[in-house]
Amino acid sequence: MIPSSLRALLDDTQGQRQAEWAGRTLWLAREQWGELAVSLQGAQVLHYLPYTPGSTHATGSGTPALDAGWLWVTSTPQPSPGAIRGGIPLCWPWFADENTADESPDRSGPMHGPARKAEWHLDAADEHEEGIELHLSPIDQLHKQLVPRAVIQANAKRLHVELVTEHRGETPVKMSGALHSYFAVTDAHRCRVEGLAGARYLDKLQGFAEHVQQGELGIRGPLDRIYESNREVVLDDNRRRLRIAKQGSDSTVVWHPGDDLPTDTPTEVGRRFLCVEAACTRLDPVWLVPGAQHLLATTITCEDAP
């Protein structure tokens, strides 16, 4: 589900172009295979919609429903450079307030790290018949030793996002991070996340109390959990089954704030997202040594697709 202002920009796009939205520069693509919107603030995918053969928008004869995309974005984002709630924010080089790789003397760095508020540069946009591949890197240096880059691939079947970290310094660094994906769902409190049964988890709403997931996870209210899992999961919202695979991640975070919504989230759309995040957290921090690199990636496909 994306805001109507973003929908209008996509409707005006044929091929690829840059456009301004909510004070940010976006890279928009509307091609035979589908649609993609990426914010250069944060190298953040905001929207992805593959066109299925035979659909009206695949032939250019219709506009997809507002909620057809796989990702959710708030209609009232904070002004730039505030973090954009929605899509796939890149949390780097730490997850939440863990501040693992924070270099500030008092470890007072921002929640989820500086990458999602930073401006990124589009280094390459490779287009081919089946889809598109974007390469982005931050304009400013975000860490003294670690350098991130992002790769985004989209085609008619899948969305794939990579966050690569290279260690170009001299001393080992402990980092964490997340691909903080906001999936569009019909009702967050009627969703099921399959693939976590038997996994140990920390419940952030219970002071990080440790539990083991009994059976599959059904969501009925606020939830903030870090699962110890490197498995792929399926998000079923009773309308669509999204398969979320990942690499370089031994933590899966599942989050929805319930009815106590953040100020940038209107009540009427507050139940229309669920975060399922490929992450590295306090359960599986990454120790990067000089010269090494780490790949955190997610691949999202739809089980219902032909």
Ligand X SMILES: O=P(O)(O)OC[C@H]1O[C@@H](O)[C@H](O)[C@@H](O)[C@@H]1O
- Chain residues that interact with ligand X, rule: CB under 6 A: 83, 96, 111-112, 180, 204, 224, 253, 255, 262, 277
Side chain identity at residue 161, one-letter code: V
At its nearest, how many Å lie between ligand X and the CB of residue 273?
A: 11
* Residue 188 per-residue DSSP state: G
Query: How many C-beta neighbours within 10 Å does residue 55 have?
Result: 15
Of 96 and 185, CB closest to ligand X:
96
* Closest separation in Å from C-beta 3 to ligand X: 17
Q: Which is nearer to ligand X, 155 or 229 (CB)?
A: 229
- Name which of 153 and 252 has its Cβ closer to ligand X: 252
Cα separation, 126 vs 124, whole angstroms: 6
Question: 16 forms bridges with which residues in the sheet?
Answer: 29
Helix H or strand E segment including 4? helix 4-11
Q: Nearest distance from residue 55's CB to ligand X, in Å?
A: 32
- Tell me the closest approach of the beta carbon of residue 281 to ligand X, in angstroms: 9
Instruction: Compare residues 12 and 210 and give the one whose CB is closer to ligand X.
Output: 210
Question: Whole-number minimum distance, CB 250 to ligand X, in Å?
Answer: 16
In the complex with ligand X, which residue's Cβ is closer, 51 or 273? Answer: 273
Which class for 258: exposed (0-12), middle (13-18), buried (19 or more C-beta within 10 A)? middle
Is 174:107 a contact under the CB 8 Å cutoff?
Answer: no
Q: Does the bond joining 93 to the residue before it have cis omega, within 30 degrees of 0?
A: yes
190 CB contacts (<8 Å, ≥6 apart)? Answer: 219, 220, 237, 238
